[in-house]
Amino acid sequence: MDSALIPDGVKRCSFGKFALGIIIAGGVLLWGVYAMLLIWLKGLNQTNMNDYYGFALWIWADLGVIALGGGAFFIGLLRYVIGKDELKNIINYAVLIGFICYSSALLILAIDVGQPLRSWFIFWHANIHSMLTEVAFCLSCYFAVLTIEYIPLILENRQINKVPFFHNLAHNMHEVMVIFAATGAFLSFFHQGSLGGTPAVLYGRPFAFREGVFIWPWTFFLFTWSAAAYGPCFTLFVTRLTEKITGKKLVKQNVIDLLAKISGWMMGTYIIAKIIDTWYWATVTATASGFNLIDFYSNNPFYGIWILIAEIVVCGIVPALILLTPKGRSNSTLLFTAVLLACIGVLLNRWVMVLQVMAAPVMTFENWVMYIPSWQEVATTILPVAYGVILVMISFRYLPIFPQERELNS
Amino acid sequence: MFPFSFEWIWDVGHMVFMGGLWYALTILGLGMTYCILKAVVDTMHGKGGQHH
């Protein structure tokens, strides 16, 4: 039925099966849209946010998808600026995943601001002393970069590419992509960093507060570093998941191996820096505010010391070691486990830096404040996942995402 | 925000922050303008008709 739109030389499932998948994901999407409309029409009283939790599930999801989408900027940097040519075989998928992650982040923000019609205020009435202003600027501009990187892929659809103008436009955009990729890396460095800097400048919140260099707390650099380390892991994870679902080999092992190795080094060095940061914070910064490390992890039903061990050891050191060893990278199961653990690790880090910051008591008369999101918050957080699944399905079916697919499955 | 906005102040913060935004937007805008114009010219010269 739609065979004329499918890239040359590759096989796809029947249109009926594809449509069924879209309908299932579309059902989840509609549930999220319903919740989104409720929030827009009735207001933020539909959420369980309160005076303690001004930042909640949405901001965690935002920071999470931005970190996971970091694969796009880092792989783009490696491919176009540093010249790792092998990565041309996975860059398209990284861009698609990045595009989904960043559009999801913007969608979630549009719900979270409560008054989306005033979103432009942050550009026009910018508070130049706010790290979140920098985030808003860089996030919006970087989304424009991702859109620019995604457009040539759409233009390379079999039918669209027959139109000479679109063919030429795609070709020209590829030729100057290094400029866009470099701009994207610059923008990503600052918004990833500022997202990490935001909690760390809260000197009234000793759990998050960090010292740093000039105006930047150490977490500024840790967030950028972690996005560059863990983002490519998410790209590898989704690639492997797509291979399993479609039953096809999509990317050659040497490409996977190279990206996994780079991620392993980035993750290994990041974890060392993270351990140093945690140690300094626990022994110097927090104690200067009258807190001991264990104060932040006890007398509450959820935020135990396990969360720190899970983030640094289980989802940090372990995947880094797997990715750093040739045996670990060549074993499909180990590699898949490592990238999955890495994704959980970075999500856990963002969870802690958003939610635990709010939960931990500051004054002596305060207690831990727990938070359970409302179903509307959950639905609107799942909404981008359904949207992502749909966009991946459509892009995989109709666009030449994987240059090696034909060769690997012939 | 532009220098003619009433909130504008000529200080380092405004120039760095807003300058950075305009700088990035200018690169993206000029880059895309170049690509589109070149695609128009290429198409007018008959390129892209016999693609692979």
With tokens 């690169």, the residue in question is B27
Residue A100 C-alpha, separation from nearest chain B C-alpha, in angstroms:
20
Q: Which site among B1, B35, B47, B52 would you substitute to test the A interface, given the most A Cβ atoms closer than 10 Å to its Cβ? A: B35
- Measured between CB atoms, does A215 come within 8 Å of chain B? no
- Contact (CB<8Å) B5/A123: no
pLDDT tens, residue order, chain A (410 aa): 789 999 998 999 999 999 999 999 999 999 999 999 999 999 999 999 998 898 899 999 999 999 999 999 999 999 999 999 999 999 999 999 999 999 999 999 999 988 888 888 999 999 988 888 989 999 999 999 999 999 999 999 999 999 999 999 999 999 999 999 999 999 999 999 999 999 999 999 999 999 999 889 999 999 999 999 999 999 999 999 999 999 999 999 999 999 999 999 999 999 999 999 999 999 999 999 999 999 999 889 899 999 999 999 999 999 999 999 999 999 999 999 999 999 999 999 999 999 999 999 988 898 999 999 999 999 999 999 999 999 999 999 999 999 999 999 98
Nearest to B27 by CA among A187, A97, A113: A187
The confidence score (pLDDT) of residue B2 equals: 86
Contact yes or no for A5/A157 (Cβ under 8 A): yes
* Radius of gyration of the CA atoms of chain B, in A: 19
Instruction: Provide, as residue numbers in chain B, all residues whose Cβ is less than 8 Å from the Cβ of A138.
Output: 24
Residue A217 phi, psi dihedral angles, 5° rounding: -70, 160
Of chain B, the end-to-end C-alpha distance in Å amounts to: 46
If you measure CA to CA, which chain A residue comes closest to B46? A164
- Asked if pLDDT for residue B52 goes beyond 60, the answer is no
Split into its structural domains, chain A has a count of 1
- Selecting from A129, A162, A183 the residue whose C-beta is nearest the C-beta of B28 gives A183
Confidence class for position B48, pLDDT limits 50, 70, 90: confident
- ipTM, two decimals, is 0.92
> Quick one: CA dihedral A404, A183, A73, B34, positive or negative?
negative
Q: Is the pTM of this model over 0.90?
A: yes
Instruction: Provide, as residue numbers in chain B, all residues whose Cβ is less than 8 Å from the Cβ of A183.
Output: 24, 27-28
Report the alpha-carbon distance of residue B19 to residue B8 in Å, rounded.
Answer: 12
Q: Please give the DSSP secondary-structure letter assigned to residue A7.
A: P
Structural domain range at position A370? 3-408
Residue A286 C-alpha, separation from nearest chain B C-alpha, in angstroms:
30
Report the alpha-carbon distance of residue A368 to residue A378 in Å, rounded.
Answer: 22
The confidence score (pLDDT) of residue B1 equals: 86
Instruction: Provide, as residue numbers in chain A, all residues whose Cβ is less than 8 Å from the Cβ of B14.
Output: 128
Burial code (b: 16+ CB inside 10 Å, e: under 16) for A12-29 equals: beeeeebeebbeebbebb
- Asked if pLDDT for residue B50 goes beyond 80, the answer is no
Q: Which site among A155, A156, A168 would you substitute to test the B interface, given the most B Cβ atoms closer than 10 Å to its Cβ? A: A168
The confidence score (pLDDT) of residue B11 equals: 92
Instruction: Provide, as residue numbers in chain B, all residues whose Cβ is less than 8 Å from the Cβ of A161.
Output: 51
- Selecting from B13, B25, B28 the residue whose C-beta is nearest the C-beta of A128 gives B13
- Selecting from A144, A161, A167 the residue whose C-beta is nearest the C-beta of B28 gives A144
Number of CB pairs, chain A paired with chain B, less than 8 A apart? 77
Please state whether A203 falls in left (phi above 0), alpha (psi between -120 and 50) or beta: alpha
- Selecting from B35, B46, B47 the residue whose C-beta is nearest the C-beta of A173 gives B35
- Measured between CB atoms, does A335 come within 8 Å of chain B? no
Instruction: Provide, as residue numbers in chain B, all residues whose Cβ is less than 8 Å from the Cβ of A169.
Output: 35-36, 39
Paired tokens of A52: 């303690």
- Contact (CB<8Å) A165/B21: no
Residue B48 phi, psi dihedral angles, 5° rounding: 85, -5
Instruction: Provide, as residue numbers in chain A, all residues whose Cβ is less than 8 Å from the Cβ of B39.
Output: 165, 168-169, 171-172
**Under 8 Å CB-to-CB from A153, ≥6 apart: which residues?**
A92, A95, A96, A395, A399, A400, A401
The confidence score (pLDDT) of residue A171 equals: 95
